[in-house]
């Protein structure tokens, strides 16, 4: 088998990976670059997907899926079933005027995505692709085990081991055995001095904040279901005030509630209320938690004199607020006096090390990190191939 990282080396996001056997060619992820990404690497996805048998998407974040419209129409695109629906709801929201350049064609293509089932292999020619459910800040995220020609590749996508569900990576990967190549994300390895809290720790801190503040505004990604669940359960523990969002967010949470019964009540958001003017009196008297985003609807509540003693919790990447990566809409929307409460959706050094030690790869190819040589900091007893973008690696070749 041959591996080519078209984009994703020495940068976070924008991932496009090609894996090819004698008979089959697949792509894993077709992502756009993150805002203000400095890479000069350009990828013609339409050209790359020529004579491609399938595209597999690890999760719905745009730095892994954003160029799906460039994939040739005859090529099937596979994604998790829940991920497909959440992404479609998101795209329909983005189609609204003044939000994003999303057309009906985008939505039609998303609705045509094929889906797979956890741990059930998809066989295409001489290649077998098995999706493995993992935890990430995108719901319904997957690793992929690719097998062909007697070789085995594990592509991690984005993952973490400090989430609330699917966080025991040793148990998840226990039956895989050794792989020839591990293509592994390493987003956090440039920040080894940083401490990452678990989602449970975040939830506990949020409980105290909500208990001690009558009016609480929360800004987090609308598709970060684990983060919303953390605040939702924190609110229940703090006294169960109204938990409010807009209609778009409610559509996503209703879908997750309906399709996530295997997790018992953890993703049961049935008590979340879509804002209605009838709730205003109860909001004022008893307090609330409200999920907000940078738009006029949210701004009018934040600026209301009735809620002037409110707490604003910012639970996203700080890069959206400051420096070269700042998002103007977000930085203008977030008040100066905000409380920062966030944790990464990516694996810590301990999580990455655990994956490596479970599958014992003959070769590691680092992707989705600022510098692939950061992987050397882990001092692992495995060979590391610091691949360059668009250079083909043949499994088994001398490093």
pLDDT digits (tens, 9 = 90+) for 5-29: 999 999 999 999 999 999 999 999 9
User: At the fourth CATH level, which superfamily is domain 2-192+345-394?
Assistant: Ribonuclease Z/Hydroxyacylglutathione hydrolase-like (3.60.15.10)
**Kind of pairing, strands 151-155 and 141-148?**
antiparallel
Which residue reads 């077998």 in tokens? 128
Residue 333: which pLDDT band, with cuts at 50, 70 and 90? very high
Show the tokens assigned to 186: 């390493």
For residue 35, the model assigns a pLDDT of 78
Burial pattern 16-37, b for ≥16 Cβ within 10 A else e, equals bbbbbbeebbbbbbbbbbbeeb
Whether the predicted pLDDT of 301 surpasses 90:
yes
Q: Which among 316, 325, 338, 343 has a CA at the least distance from the CA of 191?
A: 343
* Strands (DSSP E) found in the chain: 2-7, 16-20, 25-30, 54-56, 77-80, 114-116, 122-124, 127-134, 141-148, 151-155, 181-185, 215-219, 242-245, 273-274, 288-291, 311-314, 339-340, 363-367, 383-384, 392-394
Query: Where along the chain do its domains lie?
Result: 2-192+345-394, 199-340
Higher pLDDT, 146 or 396: 146
What pLDDT, in 10s, does the model give residues 135-175?
A: 999 999 999 999 999 999 999 999 999 999 999 999 999 99
Nearest to 352 by CA among 182, 176, 180: 182
Mind listing the pLDDT tens digit for each residue in 103-139? 999 999 999 999 999 999 999 999 999 999 999 999 9
pLDDT digits (tens, 9 = 90+) for 29-52: 999 998 778 888 999 999 999 999
User: Which structure tokens are listed for 361?
Assistant: 């790869």
Read off the pTM: 0.96
pLDDT at 334: 95
Pair of tokens at residue 325: 């990566």
Confidence band, pLDDT 50/70/90 cuts, at residue 226:
very high
Q: Are 270 and 243 in contact (CB under 8 A)?
A: no
Superfamily in which the 199-340 domain is placed by CATH: Metallo-hydrolase/oxidoreductase (3.40.50.10710)
pLDDT of residue 37: 80
Looking at residue 110, the DSSP 8-state letter turns out to be: H
- In the block, tokens 């090529």 appear at 75
Assign 325 a pLDDT band (cuts: 50, 70, 90): confident
């Amino acid at each position: 088998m041959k591996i080519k990282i078209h984009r994703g080396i020495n940068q976070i996001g924008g991932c496009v990976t090609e894996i090819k056997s004698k008979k089959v060619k697949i792509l894993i992820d077709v992502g756009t670059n993150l805002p203000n990404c400095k890479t000069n690497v350009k990828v013609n996805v339409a050209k790359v997907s020529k004579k491609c048998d399938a595209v597999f998407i690890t999760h719905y974040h745009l730095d892994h899926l954003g160029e799906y419209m460039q994939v040739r129409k005859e090529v099937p695109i596979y994604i998790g079933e829940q991920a497909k629906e959440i992404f479609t709801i998101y795209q329909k929201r983005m189609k609204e005027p003044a939000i994003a350049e999303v057309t009906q064609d985008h939505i039609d293509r998303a609705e045509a995505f094929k889906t797979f089932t956890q741990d059930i292999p998809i066989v295409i020619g001489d290649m077998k692709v098995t999706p493995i459910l993992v935890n990430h800040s995108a719901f319904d995220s997957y690793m992929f085990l690719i097998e062909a020609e007697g070789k085995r590749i594990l592509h991690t996508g984005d993952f973490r081991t400090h989430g609330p569900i699917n966080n025991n990576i040793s148990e998840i990967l226990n039956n895989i055995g050794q792989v020839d190549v591990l293509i592994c994300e390493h987003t956090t390895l440039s920040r080894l001095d940083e401490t990452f809290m678990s989602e449970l720790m975040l939830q506990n801190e949020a409980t105290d904040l909500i208990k001690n503040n009558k009016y609480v505004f929360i800004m987090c990604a609308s598709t970060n279901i684990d983060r919303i669940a953390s605040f939702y359960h924190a609110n229940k523990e703090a006294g169960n005030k109204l938990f409010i969002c807009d209609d778009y967010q409610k559509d996503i949470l209703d879908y997750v509630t309906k399709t996530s019964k295997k997790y018992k009540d953890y993703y049961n958001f049935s008590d979340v209320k879509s804002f209605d003017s009838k709730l205003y009196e109860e909001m004022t008297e008893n307090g609330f938690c409200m999920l907000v985003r940078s738009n006029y609807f949210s701004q009018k509540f934040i600026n209301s004199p009735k809620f002037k003693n409110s707490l604003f919790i910012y639970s996203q990447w700080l890069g959206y607020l400051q420096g070269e990566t700042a998002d103007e809409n977000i930085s203008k929307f977030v008040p100066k006096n905000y409380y920062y409460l966030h944790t990464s959706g990516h694996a810590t050094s301990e999580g990455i090390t655990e994956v490596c030690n479970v599958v014992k790869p003959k070769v590691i190819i680092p992707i989705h990190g600022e510098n692939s040589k950061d992987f050397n900091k882990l001092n692992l007893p495995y060979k590391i191939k610091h691949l360059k973008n668009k250079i083909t690696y043949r499994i088994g070749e001398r490093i």
